[in-house]
Amino acid sequence: MSFWRLDPDVIHLNHGSFGATPAPALEEQRRLRDVMESNPTRWFLKDYQPALDEARSKVAGFVGAESAALGFVNNATEGVNSVLRSLEACLKPGDEIVVTDHDYNACRNAAAVTAARTGARVVPAAIPFPLQSAREVTDSILGMVTDRTRLLMVDAVTSPTALVFPLEEIVRALEPEVQVMVDAAHAPGMIDFDLTALGASYVTANCHKWMCAPKGSALLYVREDRRDRIYPAVISHGYNGGWPAEGGHLHTQFDWTGTDDPTAWLATPAALDAMAGLHPDGWEGVKRANRDLCLTARDMLVDLLGIEAPAPDGMIGAIASVPLPRTPLEGGTIFNPLMATLRDRWGIEVMVMSWPDPSASLLRVSTQQYNTVEDIKRLVEAVATELDL
């Protein structure tokens, strides 16, 4: 059985968008579904909660948190929405939510809706790109914080620009006076990430990206002193203690928000184990190898384009963006036509997006254990040909 179910005729250099799940985890999810469907009543009412608690314990150990601090959600966007909805009762006209102009669009939209409902204001911090140091990030964000700031929403690793932000310094400067919510969609499994040590009020992260769990697995972390005020975006049985009756506030609220297929959550430990087995040094080796190949890809691309690296090596994980020559796009699309050309003509899946406006584009490359230097060389050849470099 092949470890990956990816199409072998395609060069996959976009792991950062949707991840890829190893076959052992998919097989475990299939097994769980078969057991669930063999007796749904018994499984949901008797077997589900112990299995969920066991999976959560394994995931908690991986991200440096206690089990009581974690609730499962379907994706990081759901986690962000859950926190923002919960905080609406505490926000009032004139309050400020600080974000950055590198934030993921879906989460930025969620902040805008919360601000509109409460009369609060979304305040964007402008982060330069390219940049010379992480200090530029810290200075820009902290420079937008005022006595009206109630929440900072910030990425651990930005989606468009693929920058590893200096979270520890930012959180240390703001908490607990200003609550910090970290969108860590890309962080666990790609960079070293300890939720308890970080100290942020809230962290949400996808398990389906760099942890390589099945799609539909993500987590929400809430620090103990903030925990009792956070509720899921979908209110269900747990709101009045209906189900489950034990396990602490987050578990009661998030473990059962209506009948769904929770097998992606339960198969996450199988993904963690499978990925750890890919390198002699386990997960540390996986993260190191992915980053090394990503830096190689970044360096080859900037050499091709004749530009300086747009960010220091220390701000890069296993995903990196490089600016392309400015080419105006029509129709306001967020995707540069080069992305479709690379897919259709060269068999390469890689992200090419319009950012920060339609006249500028970034090529974002992600590297995972299924990638090789030969994949990168093929990408460089394709970009050189299509951009006539």
Location of each CATH 3.40.640.10 domain in the chain:
25-273
Low-confidence ranges of the chain (pLDDT < 50): none
**Which structure tokens are listed for 385?**
């040909």
**HSE, side-chain direction, 13 A CA sphere, residue 55:** 29
19: left (phi over 0), alpha (psi -120 to 50) or beta: left
Rounded-to-10 torsion of CA 145, 146, 152, 158: -20
pLDDT of residue 245: 65
Closest CA to 358 of 341, 338, 335: 335
Location of each CATH 3.90.1150.10 domain in the chain:
11-20+281-386
pLDDT of residue 296: 98
3-state secondary structure the chain: CCCECCCCCCEECCHHHHCCCEHHHHHHHHHHHHHHHHCHHHHHHHHHHHHHHHHHHHHHHHHCCCHHHEEEECCHHHHHHHHHHHHHHHCCCCCEEEEECCCCHHHHHHHHHHHHHHCCEEEEECCCCCCCCCHHHHHHHHHCCCCCEEEEEEECECCCCCCECCHHHHHHHHCCCCEEEEECCCCECCECCCHHHHCCCEEEEECCCCCCCCCCCEEEEECHHHHHHCCCCCCCHHHHCCCCCCCCHHHHHHCCCCCCCCHHHHCHHHHHHHHHCCCCCHHHHHHHHHHHHHHHHHHHHHHHHCCCCCCCHHHCCCEEEEECCCCCCCCCCCECHHHHHHHHHHCEECEEEECCCCCCEEEEEECCCCCCHHHHHHHHHHHHHHCCC
Rounded-to-10 torsion of CA 61, 293, 295, 388: -140
pLDDT of residue 241: 81
Q: What angle do CA 363, 378, 9 make, to 5 degrees?
A: 100
**Reported pTM:** 0.95
In CATH, what is the architecture of 25-273?
3-Layer(aba) Sandwich (3.40)
pLDDT of residue 330: 57
pLDDT of residue 247: 78
The CATH label, of 3.10.580.10, 3.60.70.12, 3.10.150.10, 3.90.1150.10, for the domain at 11-20+281-386 is: 3.90.1150.10
What is the C-alpha to C-alpha distance for residues 151 and 80, in angstroms, rounded to an integer? Answer: 12
